[in-house]
Amino acid sequence: MDAAQQFFLGQGRMNATGSDAAALAALPRDLAGLCSVIQGVLVHRDIAPWLYELKLSEEQRDTANLRTIREMLSEIRLVDERPMAEPRTPARRMPCVCSHFSILLCAILREQGVPARARCGFGAYFNPGRFEDHWVAEYWSEGEGRWMLVDAQIDSIQRKAFKLDFDPLDVPHNRFVIAGDAWQMCRSGRADPNLFGLSFINEQGMWWIAANLIRDLASLNRVPMLPWDVWGIMHGPNAPITADEEVLLDRVAELTLAGDDALPALREIYKDERLKVPPSVFNANRQRIETLEF
């Protein structure tokens, strides 16, 4: 196991599992079974009314603002105190968003001795012709000898609804576009930045891609954040990205797409105050500044 793989065995402060470590390690070790467990305790809050006939209160929807694994595990038990391996009905699952499926899968895999990290980018399999804001997990497959993308959110119901033509346990890179790839594609003119964002709120563009690129960098430094956490040089739709920022983000994109040998440079560039997650961030979902507690 090389240094990068060893690094991604570490949980980091956001993903610390504490007293739950042994229980997570004892969960199924086959990827399909593990994803099934996660799908049995989490439900996507925005898909819940559509595919699971589950109406959520604003209080229930707000649990999607939980950031740490410890908070998530506590909420999962609060909703249903049974062991995680026992599947729940959608009404007995923790409402969340895509990033929660990914960081929970990564935390469990690490406890089972498998290097893993959450990746921020865009899914091309939700809305034909568009690249929707999304997170997946990436783990080191010893058998394949490569990092593999897996979408732990996609259960059999979603697979049918979105008409997937690939295995969500091995997501092709042209179906999930890592933020760095999206940045490079749009910077070079190979793709239209207005196809990247979140269509149901009608927001898209280079500013969104840049924000996801910074979130992906943070996650690769073991600090996965919420999809709507804002800090540093993340700009809104009306604020232009400066030439200096473009140069910096070009380098970030390059490093987030590079091989394991780039880890030292990836960790070094993350020290830049324009990129690093600060003690407080703006939660765009709640429209307020929040101090991080981890």
Tokens describing residue 230: 């804002």
pLDDT average, residue stretch 245-269: 97
pLDDT digits (tens, 9 = 90+) for 188-228: 999 999 999 999 999 999 999 999 999 999 999 999 999 99
Tokens describing residue 24: 């997570």
pLDDT average, residue stretch 5-27: 93
Does 127 score more than 80 pLDDT?
yes
Return the H-helix or E-strand segment holding 23: helix 21-25
Tell me, what's the pLDDT at 242? Answer: 97
Average pLDDT, the chain: 96
Does 294 score more than 80 pLDDT?
no
Tokens describing residue 210: 């840049």
pLDDT digits (tens, 9 = 90+) for 133-184: 999 999 999 999 999 999 999 999 999 999 999 999 999 999 999 999 999 9
Give the C-alpha separation, 40 to 198, whole Å.
Answer: 26
Does 285 score more than 90 pLDDT?
yes
Give the C-alpha separation, 147 to 139, whole Å.
Answer: 5
pLDDT average, residue stretch 95-121: 98
What are the φ/ψ torsions at residue 70 (nearest 5 degrees)? -60, -40
At a CB cut-off of 8 Å and minimum separation 6, what does 144 contact?
none
Does 13 score more than 90 pLDDT?
no
Tell me, what's the pLDDT at 129? Answer: 95
Nearest alpha carbon to residue 228 among 291, 169, 281 = 281
pLDDT average, residue stretch 44-73: 97
Cβ pair 71, 63 in contact under 8 A: no
Tell me, what's the pLDDT at 180? Answer: 98
Q: What percent of the chain has pLDDT over 90?
A: 95
Does 87 score more than 90 pLDDT?
no
Give the C-alpha separation, 184 to 172, whole Å.
Answer: 18
Q: pTM score, two decimals?
A: 0.97
- Confidence band, pLDDT 50/70/90 cuts, at residue 62: very high
Tell me, what's the pLDDT at 293? Answer: 80
